[in-house]
Amino acid sequence: MQRVTFDLDVLRSFVTGMELGSFAKAANRVGRSTSAVSAQLKKLEEQVGTPLFRKAGRGLALTEAGETMLAYARRLLDLNDEAAAAVRGVDLEGWVRLGLQQDFGDVLLSEVLGRFSRAHPRVRIEVRVARNAELLERVTSGRLDLALAWGDGMGAPHGERLAELPMRWIGSAAGCSAWTGAEGEPLPLLAIEAPCRFRDAAAAALDRAGIPWRLAFTSPDLGGLWAAAAAGLGFTVRTPIGLPAGVRALGSGEAGLPALPALPLALHKAEAEPGLPTARLAALVVQALQRPVEIARGVQREALVEGRERIAPLEHVGRLVRKPEAQVRGHRHLDLLGAAGPRGGRGAEGGAEE
């Protein structure tokens, strides 16, 4: 049997297209023409020896082989990038102080810090998990080199807006809830101690919808909030990133709950031109967030489909849209369609800390 050696440039185009939701955008990202990327995908299918895409409605969806190839492609590229960083950074030394929200602990701590430490063993890393106000104060005063915080990047110098994430109502994964929605019954709201952007957004949305509510549970951290939500004590609001197993993001309009705005996420730097260790870690953080952000946006699109809301047409073909699990018999379904979910709403405003 002839040994197959995959081309990493081809795999990078494949993965980038899936993560951006468009192979046209991927072509621009990797510096190739769209026809060149199409040729790469054809080459990849020929190497695999089986189709990676199949027809689905007006577009295409990944086959089971395509899903498997995508997972391996990500692993191969991660190992390649880690090896390149390790070789180039053998003599890299220094000290980097990173601050982040609790939401991103599971997403970033093991993956990013593990890869960075292996590639740069002589660089010392300090991490602080805190709320927005403290993170911004520390990066502004120079007590942190990097801070990943909610907001549009304007709360501190040298901020870079990375993404806009959908806020979602979160409830028990078991489907149990003390709230029935009967007339006049206030919704039990679970929240982080004030000030909190999510708490303010939930209260504003409920007030606009005329839904009475009561503060049923308050916690200083996410651990208590997740425990209360998993137990069915009420509903809370977060983004789909970092949700534990005991809770789930509700679909659009589920339980009669109102729509919520989107929330921007930014990476702040203490210096406009940080040192090489800080710059390397910042690049890893941005890279590691691409996949969770893509999934979070995919969850939002799936909720819109489940809620049968109209999806606005997009002028450019090549968008990836997730379908509800029931429609694909347990398999993740991605369409290369000429449609996309509606643009995210305005981010939560005001001076809320988190």
The three-state DSSP-derived secondary structure of 104-168 is HHHHHHHHHHHHHHHHCCCEEEEEEECCHHHHHHHHHHCCCCEEEEECCCCCCCCEEEEEEEECE
Share of the chain above pLDDT 90, in %: 34
pTM of the model: 0.63
Strand-pair category, 319-322 with 334-337? antiparallel
What mean pLDDT do residues 249-275 have? 89
CA 183/CA 256 separation, integer angstroms: 12
pLDDT at residue 307 is higher than 80: no
Consecutive H or E run containing 188: strand 187-192
DSSP reduced 3-state for 66:
helix
Helices (H), 22-104: 23-30, 34-48, 64-88
pLDDT in tens, 120-162: 888 899 999 999 889 999 999 999 999 999 988 776 778 888 8
What mean pLDDT do residues 270-290 have? 87
pLDDT at residue 353 is higher than 70: no
What mean pLDDT do residues 188-205 have? 93
For 129, 145, 161, 327, the CA distances from 137, given in Å and listed in that order, are 13, 12, 18, 47
pLDDT in tens, 28-77: 888 888 889 989 999 999 998 889 988 877 667 788 999 999 989 988 98
What is the predicted pLDDT for the residue at 352? 52
pLDDT in tens, 12-42: 999 888 877 778 888 888 888 888 998 999 9
pLDDT in tens, 254-264: 878 999 999 99
What is the predicted pLDDT for the residue at 1? 60
